[in-house]
């Protein structure tokens, strides 16, 4: 279960964060450390060499950064993250070779339905970027909104990469290592703040927000809500591991991964994630494994509640089980005025609908913002975060953008129908679609990479995701 590769990956997860904390990239508060830029440059040079002469090593490096690198902000050079540099290099070198006329048919036309759908999405994003620029949206916001769509281009190299058995096993090991490491990372952070060893607005807090791209929020009874952007894929990962347990997998790693991920969910406490988990578990239903499905689904929910109450008991020094907090956050879905974050989302709604009403067909363009009164800061604020996933797509890309997304998802679902793992992928997709109600799950870099990876795997020659060797 724990091989040398797992150990290296597990240690790499923490080494990357420790290095980034010690030698940070540029943030709103601090200038970039020269050491961070130098190390990033060395990795870029290595990636260029490997992409040219040792492609297998290059794809391991790139995939490892995606899985272990969180939101991708730990290493940067010249204002661009290492993840963005990897994209530029892959497109320039790999696709430069594969899209030559001699390779065009093999690269594009063999998977023409999804290739066409992905190109439609990319064109919709490009049109939105151009429209946003001419509508005088901030260039930085336009670029940050358009950049995720460029990651659709990974579809072409991923078709080849998925055919490599060692690459599949590496991805499985890396996901398992990331699941356990992230749980430990979040749990340690929670303990440090709950024990008052760290305080809000300290150096670590700003590193968490500006570099790790997360949020730390204090709640009653000294409980802390910890959010990271990579948690957008939290529910799909839980569903993947629970599904393997339902299918009687003998690999012990699945039994460890589920509670580890539930620890993260218990400290994240995002309502839409919990709802998505429930919907995904329903889609995992199978008559063939009905007893194991019942045990796995009910056991997952019960374990989540147990973990939450245990953490809350510890944080409150035995004064509260935390059920009143849990009930408050669920109740705010119906009566949002009782919680600031839910109220902010409701206040954004009419502003977004008004933008849609003005430009329903082609949208306002990427990089758009909304100005609304904030009950948290007690003043008007302008934010690029719409907090309504589908409405943000509609507002910025119009009905044409929504149609491009709908066409791509329909192509993906049509291909999934032919798979033995139909229920698993339907569960994962349904969970992602639910999360996108109030989060940018679909059009975030991580969401696009997940969908692009699934598309490439579906259209690779080998559709069997090999179980790791124990």
Tokens (6 digits) for 343 = 């109220």
What pTM does this model have? 0.91
Query: What is the spatial distance between Cα 200 and Cα 177, in angstroms, rounded to a whole number?
Result: 29
- Residue 137, pLDDT score: 94
- Residue 341, pLDDT score: 67
Query: Which are the contacts of 175, defined by CB distance < 8 A and separation ≥ 6?
Result: 67, 237
pLDDT of 119 over the 50 cut:
yes
Q: Whose structure tokens read 């809000």?
A: 200
pLDDT, mean of residues 130-147: 94
- Top pLDDT among 286 and 365 is at 365
Please measure the distance between the N-terminal and C-terminal CA atoms of the chain and give it in whole angstroms: 5
CA distances from 324 to 151, 220, 270, 271 (A): 42, 10, 16, 15
**If pLDDT is split at 50, 70 and 90, which confidence band does 339 have?**
low
- Top pLDDT among 16 and 330 is at 16
Supply the mean pLDDT for the chain: 88
The residue ranges of every structural domain in the chain are 4-329+390-458
């Amino acid at each position: 279960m724990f091989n040398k590769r797992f150990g290296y990956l597990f240690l790499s997860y923490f080494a990357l964060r420790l290095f980034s904390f010690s030698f940070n990239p540029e943030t709103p508060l601090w200038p970039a450390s020269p050491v961070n830029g130098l190390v990033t440059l060395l990795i870029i040079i290595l990636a260029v060499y490997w992409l040219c002469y040792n492609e297998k090593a290059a794809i391991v490096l790139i995939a490892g950064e995606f899985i272990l690198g969180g939101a991708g902000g730990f290493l940067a050079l010249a204002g661009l993250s290492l993840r963005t540099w990897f994209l530029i290099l892959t497109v320039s070198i790999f696709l430069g070779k594969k899209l030559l006329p001699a390779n065009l048919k093999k690269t594009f036309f063999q998977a023409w339905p999804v290739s066409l759908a992905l190109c439609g999405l990319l064109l919709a994003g490009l049109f939105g970027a151009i429209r946003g620029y001419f509508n005088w949206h901030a260039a930085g916001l336009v670029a940050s909104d358009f950049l995720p769509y460029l990651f659709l281009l990974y579809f072409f190299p991923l078709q080849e990469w998925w055919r490599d058995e060692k690459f599949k096993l590496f991805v499985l090991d890396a996901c398992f290592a990331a699941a356990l490491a992230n749980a430990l990372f979040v749990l340690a952070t929670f303990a440090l703040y709950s024990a008052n060893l760290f305080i809000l607005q300290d150096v670590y807090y700003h590193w968490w927000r500006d570099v790790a791209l997360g949020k730390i929020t204090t709640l009653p009874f000294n409980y802390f809500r910890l959010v990271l952007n990579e948690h957008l894929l939290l529910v799909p990962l839980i569903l993947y591991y629970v599904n393997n347990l339902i299918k009687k997998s003998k690999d012990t790693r699945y039994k460890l991964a589920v509670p580890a991920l539930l620890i993260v969910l218990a400290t994240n406490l995002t309502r839409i994630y919990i709802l998505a988990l429930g919907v995904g578990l329903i889609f995992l239903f199978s008559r063939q494994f009905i007893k194991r499905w019942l045990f796995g689904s009910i056991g997952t929910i019960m374990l989540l509640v147990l973990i939450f109450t245990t953490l809350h008991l510890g944080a409150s020094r035995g004064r509260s089980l935390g059920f009143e907090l849990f009930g408050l956050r669920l109740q705010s879905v119906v009566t949002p005025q009782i919680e600031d974050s839910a109220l902010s989302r409701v206040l954004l709604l009419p502003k977004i609908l008004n933008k849609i009403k003005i430009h329903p067909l082609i949208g306002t363009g990427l990089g758009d913002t909304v100005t609304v009164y904030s009950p948290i800061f007690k003043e008007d604020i302008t934010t690029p975060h719409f907090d309504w996933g589908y409405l943000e797509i509609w507002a910025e890309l119009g009905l044409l953008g929504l149609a491009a997304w709908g066409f791509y998802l329909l192509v993906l679902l049509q291909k999934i129908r032919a798979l033995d793992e139909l229920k698993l992928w339907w569960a994962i997709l349904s969970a992602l679609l639910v999360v996108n109600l109030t989060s940018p799950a679909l059009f975030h870099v991580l969401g696009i990479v997940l969908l692009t990876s699934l598309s490439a795997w579906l259209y690779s020659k080998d559709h069997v995701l090999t179980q790791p060797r124990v």
